[in-house]
Chains A and B, each alone.
Chain A
Amino acid sequence: MTDPRERSFFIGKSTPAEVRLLSKHLKTTKKEVFDKLVTVACMMLTSGDANHEMFSEATKSIEAEQIKHLYPGILTIVRRGACVPMNLLKEKDFLYDLSEMKIPEKFHGSLVSAVFGESRSSLDEAAYLGRPRLPSIEEFRWRVDVGISTTSLKRALEPTILCNIKTDQNESHTFEMSKEKFHELRYAVAEVLNHIQQLEKRSVLKIET
């Protein structure tokens, strides 16, 4: 086990207020209630559009007072536990930290299975999908037109490309590109791809810390 003086607690510099509140009320808490709240926490973190109704429905069998005292702490523990990659936070260290935060051993089981068990991958997936980001391309449609003549030229015969990009934010953008601008775009995309491939080859990314 890593010497505790060499690493910091997974929860942060000091025990958060909600976890202190949690530990105070655990003497009178039943294991089933605790485990249920851990499951609810996982559900709320994995669901893309978690809302109040979902939460109310899932916790209807538990007293409001109990939820108030227990849930915030449980949620924080699960969140922070799942924050660090699995190979960096060892189970033993996690359990040690839980004891330091005065969480009795009988409640460790459900927390460990939430952070290190099967449902961990869905927590990670949800974290990845919910990250802050700019709109991405949902759909890209195009068409090539050749202008035969214009007001200024009887025979123009100039190809142009009409594009429509629909983003995942449901915005639709239609614009035209000349051949030259299309080449610019294509070159830019290729260049970035090349850089990414170079980047991913570097050892910095290969090292598993």
Chain B
Amino acid sequence: MAEQIFTETARFKTAVKLINELESNRFPKLLSRIAEKLHLREEHAFSEEEQIKLQLALGIGSEDRSLLLETIEFILLQAAYYGLKPATLHQHLLSVNLSVEKSEIISQTWASYGKATVEKMKKHSFTHSQLESVGWHLNLQLAQDNKTQVKESNAIFHLNLKKSEIGKAEKLSLELTHKELLHFYNKLEILQDQLDSLS
């Protein structure tokens, strides 16, 4: 293989040994759980409580337990980073002395979850402000304090922006008349053309 994806540090070797020694019946489920939550940067696959239960169930100590979870996560994250196909991942795992059985289970899990995980990771952004949703309502203005019998349509848009600081969100409120809407729409159409020309 051209690139060494996994370096056999002492810690990694210990982890490999741990993985190989684990009972295989619980392994697929363990992997699926980790793979499901892989794209979430802040959340861990298992809560504190669950981790302790896991420890007892697998009959390993707490240090071993963290090493195990960390390493599995690392393997899958690397697979995502390099965009590995399941078969390639399998080969890489064998090259660092993971048992055939365990390598197969890991690659199979990657085959099921890999594509979706990578897609989700692609959408990650840590920009200051992101558009989360758009709300609107359409009004017909009938009158104002210095004018009666008005028949003007206007639309109010709420652009809900998610901020990079957790918990802060901004709602951008805009009012657009028919003419302004058309103007805006034409600009969005130009944008769309640009996007189309990319693919």
Partners in one complex: yes
Residues of A within 8 A of B (CB): 79, 82-85, 88, 124, 127-128, 130-137, 140, 142, 144, 146-147, 150, 152-163, 165, 167, 173-179, 181-182, 184-186, 188-190, 192-193, 195-196, 199-200, 205, 209
A-B contact pairs, 28 of them (CB 8 A): A124-B147, A132-B144, A133-B175, A134-B156, A135-B173, A135-B175, A136-B177, A137-B184, A140-B187, A144-B195, A152-B121, A152-B124, A153-B83, A153-B121, A160-B125, A161-B191, A161-B195, A175-B128, A175-B129, A178-B131, A181-B131, A185-B159, A186-B189, A186-B192, A188-B134, A192-B138, A193-B178, A209-B149
Nearest-CB residue, chain B, relative to A199:
B153
Kindly state the separation between the CA atoms of A154 and B123 in the bound complex, as whole angstroms.
14
Kindly state the separation between the CA atoms of A146 and B199 in the bound complex, as whole angstroms.
11
B70 near A: Cβ within 8 Å?
Answer: no
Kindly state the separation between the CA atoms of A154 and B80 in the bound complex, as whole angstroms.
8
B118 near A: Cβ within 8 Å?
Answer: yes
B81 near A: Cβ within 8 Å?
Answer: yes
Nearest-CB residue, chain A, relative to B192:
A186
| Chain A residues whose CB sits within 8 angstroms of the CB of B122 once the complex forms | 147, 153, 156-158
The contact size tier of chain B is 35 or more
Mark each residue of chain B from 87 to 122: 1 if its CB lies under 8 Å from any CB of chain A, else 0.
Answer: 000000000000000000000000000000010011
| CB <8 Å contact, A184 and B123 | no
| Chain B residues whose CB sits within 8 angstroms of the CB of A176 once the complex forms | 125, 127, 129-131
Kindly state the separation between the CA atoms of A196 and B81 in the bound complex, as whole angstroms.
47
CB within 8 Å for A199 and B184 given contacts A135-B174, A155-B83, A209-B149? no
Give which listed residue, A127, A136, A158, contacts B123 with CB less than 8 A.
Answer: A158
CB within 8 Å for A153 and B181 given contacts A127-B144, A135-B174, A175-B131? no
| Chain B residues whose CB sits within 8 angstroms of the CB of A158 once the complex forms | 122-123
B176 near A: Cβ within 8 Å?
Answer: yes
| CB <8 Å contact, B176 and A136 | yes
| Chain B residues whose CB sits within 8 angstroms of the CB of A79 once the complex forms | 146
Closest chain-A Cβ to B113's Cβ sits at a distance in Å of 15
